[in-house]
Amino acid sequence: NLTYFGVRDTEEPDDELMSKLNIKNYMVAEVRYRGIDVCIHETLEKLSDCDMIYISFDVDSLDPAFAPGTGTVEIGGLTTWQALEIIRGCAGLNLVGGDLVEVSPPFDPSGNTALIGANQRAPNPSSANQPRLAPLAPATNQPRSAGGCCASTGGRPATRW
């Protein structure tokens, strides 16, 4: 199971492969139109059968107004609060790992991109009662099937296979 948030540039072969593999790609326009909470809720439903979750956070999913220090600058990206809501929306899931990619210090003279990247961390279980903007899907006691799942932001889908 794979879900993308914030991918802004796909080509027809990317779209065909995502469709064939049942990969959901929440383009920035869809996130803005439908709302981040709806998109997160749908993602949590899709990943509800997964017993392991891996998050890959691609900094170039963010708008360069917030994170200019990346190798692929493209306007119209996610805001920092949307990115934080995606990460916070994973509270309560069995996160087994993650990565942060595309931070490029030579393109980040202010250090803002690195700072944003440093704050994109998995939710602390002890902070589960902190308020969040996006409501989470209800917890379930259903057993989860074996297998890993991934939620990702940004990047070019074709480079991930």
**Neighbour count for residue 110 (Cβ, 10 Å):** 9
pLDDT for res 156 = 43
Q: Could you tell me the two tokens for 96?
A: 């087994």
Read off the pLDDT of residues 100-144 as tens digits, 9 standing for 90 and up.
888 888 888 888 888 887 776 655 554 444 444 333 333 333 333
Give the highest mean pLDDT range of 34-43, 63-72, 83-92, 144-153: 34-43
Alpha-carbon gap, residue 102 to 74, rounded angstroms: 13
Backbone CA torsion sign across 42, 45, 50, 51: positive
38 CB-side CA count, 13 A: 7
Read off the pLDDT of residues 4-37 as tens digits, 9 standing for 90 and up.
998 888 899 999 999 999 999 999 999 999 999 9
Mean pLDDT, to the nearest integer, of 34-56? 91
Query: Residue 25 is inside which H or E element, if any?
Result: strand 24-26
pTM to 2 decimals? Answer: 0.71
